[in-house]
Amino acid sequence: MILILGVTASGKGRLAFDLAESLGAEIISIDSMKVYKRMDIGTAKPPKQVRQRIKYHLIDVVEPSESFSVAAFLKLANEALEQIKSKNKPIIAVGGTALYIKALLYGLFEGPGTDEQIRAELKAQAEAEGLNHLYQQLLKVDPNAAERISPNDVKRIIRALEVYRVTGKGISSFQKQWTGDEGRGTKYDWTIIGLRRQRAEENKRINARVKRMVEQGLVDEVKSLLAEEKPLSTQARCAIGYAEIIEHLNGRYTLKDAIELVKKNTRRFAKSQRTWFKTFQNVQWLDVEPDEQPEKLLARTKELLATRFCNW
């Protein structure tokens, strides 16, 4: 059971595919946006021809009009794990949604209870004054949580502010209990591999990916989603790449400015991913060179795995 993690555009998806093809494995996607049907370009889903060669789980499992939670992810992920295990196939999990990875490794985080009145007030505030207004509030009351949460993630921003208003404490103070180094083991014996690149190289790859998405038709994809009978869920609407293009289509930004904002927000998201991943234990990190070919990275990965599994 191999888990590959890394920030967005790090190359983890290509490595997972190459390794799965080499080992005859199936892949579990750990991505909060790849679960949505027809949200293909902006979420950088593996192309259909790739998914015809390797079995992927947890891609295209809900409609864009529906909400999706970490609890729903964990339920489907555990079902997928059991399905793959029943076939006696290797399992490769891959993704960058840190909250989902954490849940897969250690179970659900049991935070403070909810307050529907406070939550409704925060939602109304977001609609009236904009999500950035709430994000700035979060930066003031719980900067540690803000560092880990995307400025576009309306659900988690509202939840973090709700916890603060209910308890007077930041959600990050509760999440400190939810770490793997405090004696809680994982349910399964995962081998965790992390991909790292130099910051400048990561930013370069992010910018190139956003440019490629636009060339592939991201704007038309967003237009098509907005034209569907059922409106996009708040979660889907706030996804990086979609939120900014929606604002462009509403006349708030030029396309050029929207594209630059996608790049900026994606780089900020990568920073939050790095912050999360620093808390993960027992990660075998691979530092990837800018010009390193996928074949070499695959070979290095298999060498690393060989140190744990003597029959590789």
Task: Provide the token pair at 218.
Answer: 């991201």
pLDDT at res. 181 = 43
Is pLDDT above 80 for 176?
A: no
What's the whole-number mean pLDDT along residues 150-168?
Answer: 87
- Smallest CA-to-CA distance from 29 within 12, 42, 49 is with 12
pLDDT at res. 107 = 82
What strand order describes the sheet that includes 26-30? 56-57, 26-30, 91-95, 2-5, 191-196, 283-287
pLDDT in tens, 258-283: 999 999 999 999 999 998 898 888 99
pLDDT at res. 310 = 57
Is pLDDT above 70 for 227?
A: yes
Asked whether 215 and 128 are in contact (CB, 8 A), the reply is no
Asked whether 151 and 265 are in contact (CB, 8 A), the reply is yes
Question: Mutual orientation of helices 294-306 and 12-23 as an angle, nearest 10°?
Answer: 60
pLDDT at res. 170 = 87
Is pLDDT above 60 for 245?
A: yes
**Better-predicted residue by pLDDT, 259 or 168:** 259
Is pLDDT above 80 for 206?
A: yes
What's the whole-number mean pLDDT along residues 250-258?
Answer: 97
In this structure, the dihedral spanned by the alpha carbons of residues 108, 113, 116 and 122, taken in order and rounded to 10 degrees, is -70
Asked whether 236 and 64 are in contact (CB, 8 A), the reply is yes
Any idea which architecture 2-109+178-306 has in CATH? 3-Layer(aba) Sandwich (3.40)
pLDDT at res. 91 = 98
When the candidates are 3.40.50.720, 1.10.20.140, 1.10.540.10, 1.20.272.10, the CATH number that belongs to 116-175 is: 1.10.20.140
> Where in the chain is CATH 3.40.50.300?
2-109+178-306
DSSP 306: H
pLDDT in tens, 103-121: 899 887 666 777 788 888 8
> Where in the chain is CATH 1.10.20.140?
116-175
**Better-predicted residue by pLDDT, 222 or 120:** 222
Percent of the chain with pLDDT over 70: 94
Residue 304's CB is within 10 A of a number of other CB atoms, namely: 15
Is pLDDT above 50 for 182?
A: no
Least reliable range by pLDDT among 58-72, 171-185, 228-242: 171-185
What's the whole-number mean pLDDT along residues 28-46?
Answer: 97
**Better-predicted residue by pLDDT, 285 or 184:** 285
Is pLDDT above 70 for 311?
A: no
Task: Provide the token pair at 148.
Answer: 């880990």
